[in-house]
Amino acid sequence: MQKKLIALALASAFAAPAFAATSNVDIYGNVHMSVDVLDDGVDSATNVSSNASAFGIKGAEDLGGGLSAIWQVETNLAGERRGSTFTTARDTFVGLKGGFGAVRLGYFNTPTKELSRKLDLFNNRIGDTRNVLRSNASSGAQGSANNAWEERFDNGIRYDTPSFSGFSASVHYSTNFDNTGTTTTNNNDAYSLGANYANGPLFVGATYQRNNLTTGTGDETNWRLGAGYTMGNLKMVALYSKAQDQRGVDGADRDVWGLGASYKLGNGAIKGQYYKADSEDNTTDTGAKMYVVGYDYSLSKRTLAYIAYAKTKNDANARFSAMGGGGHGDDLSILAGKDPDAFSIGMIHNF
């Protein structure tokens, strides 16, 4: 109730008629900060990091006949430094929702990315699985020059089915998935498909994505299979990812797989996960292994404190990180063959 009152106050302050006419407006987000000791295998540093902290406002309007208009505007928060508080965009869209499912237009996560995020026990922290799912051995540190399996689609159109006894599916298409192609031809379009089954303690998901690149020899593709199972206080997760012709390089194929487990102890939980990236098929010694262990403690329903330690062991020609491959805000540039590690103490408040 308090969040809705704040949202309505903001709507009045900015004199937005659309907000005033909306039947439901909510403010939401999180502030996620940590103190991290990072080591790139040569030097070390201590930093304060904001890790995918976010602010959003969303709403829905009843159009009658079971149909609703839905919208959302979300942005990252830079909570650790001076300057702009609101930084890059996150999931932002407008659409329709009803008995047929939901259709959205805008900028938001793909089914491929959503599957890995659902099964990552250290999402937006050190040891985030995107350290090995996103990176490649030839480009050094993290960045958009790597593959595009963990990115949001620009210019997105998406349809999500309703749940049929636990089964659901998604189709996500982009006319220009990273805004590097031209606007007159679909030479930089992409699509991501997903299917999930969720019933009680069991979750199983599969995805397929194809990016039509403007550079290289052609398209890059990725398919994934993941599962999670909860048995009492124990939760287990697994993910397998196979990518082909990454970055448009013929034969730049890589398999990545990982396992994780979490066990609740009262208000806390101990957890760990292990991921292995094979060498790309057209290179040698470009693989890596990453492991991370940690402990979470719930201070309340909305506030969580944690500690974690992560380490990546790189092959001779690999440059994978253990820190900033995902939503974690700090990273170090990794030299080939070095073994980075990190220790983190953090806190997350959701609102």
pLDDT band at 163 (very low <50, low <70, confident <90, very high): very high
Closest residue by Cα to residue 267 from 303, 319, 293: 303
pLDDT tier, 83 (very low <50, low <70, confident <90, very high otherwise): low
Q: Which CATH superfamily is domain 2-350 in?
A: Porin (2.40.160.10)
Q: Per mean pLDDT, which range of 76-85, 224-233, 242-251 is the poorest?
A: 76-85
- Print the SS3 string covering 255-320: EEEEEEEEEEECCEEEEEEEEEECCCCCCCCCCEEEEEEEEEEECCCCEEEEEEEEEEEECCCCCC
- Which band of pLDDT confidence, cut at 50, 70 and 90, is reported for residue 3? low
pLDDT of residue 143: 32
Give the per-residue pLDDT at 216: 63
In this predicted structure, what is the pLDDT of residue 282?
A: 86
Location of structure tokens 């030839």: 138
For residue 179, pLDDT beyond 80: no
Residue 69 has pLDDT above 70, yes or no: yes
Distance, in Å, from the CA atom of 123 to the CA atom of 320, rounded to the nearest integer, reads 17
**Adjacent-strand bridge partners of 197:** 167, 204
List C-alpha distances in Å: 325 to 42, 160, 217, 333. 19, 28, 26, 11
* Position 81 confidence tier, pLDDT thresholds 50, 70, 90: low
**Residue 1's pLDDT is what?**
52
Q: Tokens 């009658």 map to which residue?
A: 64
pLDDT of residue 300: 98
If you average pLDDT over residues 154-172, what whole number do you get? 97
Q: Which of 18-22, 153-157, 318-322 has the lowest mean pLDDT?
A: 18-22
Q: What is the DSSP track for 115-155?
A: HHHHT-TTTTSTT-THHHHT--TTS-SSSTTS-STTSPEEE
What is the tens place of the pLDDT at every residue in 4-45? 544 544 444 444 444 445 468 999 999 999 999 999 999 999
3-state helix, strand, coil in the chain (%, to 5): 10, 50, 40
133 pLDDT more than 90: yes
> Which pLDDT band, with edges at 50, 70 and 90, does 312 fall under?
very high
At residue 67, the pLDDT reads: 97
pLDDT for residue 207 is more than 90: yes
Predicted local confidence at residue 18, as pLDDT: 46
- What pLDDT is stored for residue 187 in this prediction? 72
In the predicted model, what is the mean pLDDT of residues 124-142? Answer: 73
272-310 pLDDT, tens digit per residue, is 999 999 999 989 999 999 999 999 999 999 999 999 999
On the question of pLDDT at 66 being above 50, the answer is yes
Which pLDDT score, from 0 to 100, does residue 82 have? 60
- Two tokens, residue 304: 């969580």
Q: Does position 201 have pLDDT exceeding 70, yes or no?
A: yes
The ranges assigned to domains in the chain are: 2-350
Residue 90: pLDDT band by 50, 70, 90 thresholds?
A: very high
pLDDT tens digit sequence for 143-153: 334 677 999 99
So what's the pLDDT on residue 185?
A: 60
Within a 10 A sphere around the Cβ of 152, how many other Cβ atoms?
20
Residue-level pLDDT at 324: 84
Q: Given a cut of 70, is residue 159 above it in pLDDT?
A: yes
134 — pLDDT class (breaks 50, 70, 90): confident
pLDDT of the residue at 184: 58
Q: What is the pLDDT of residue 231?
A: 97
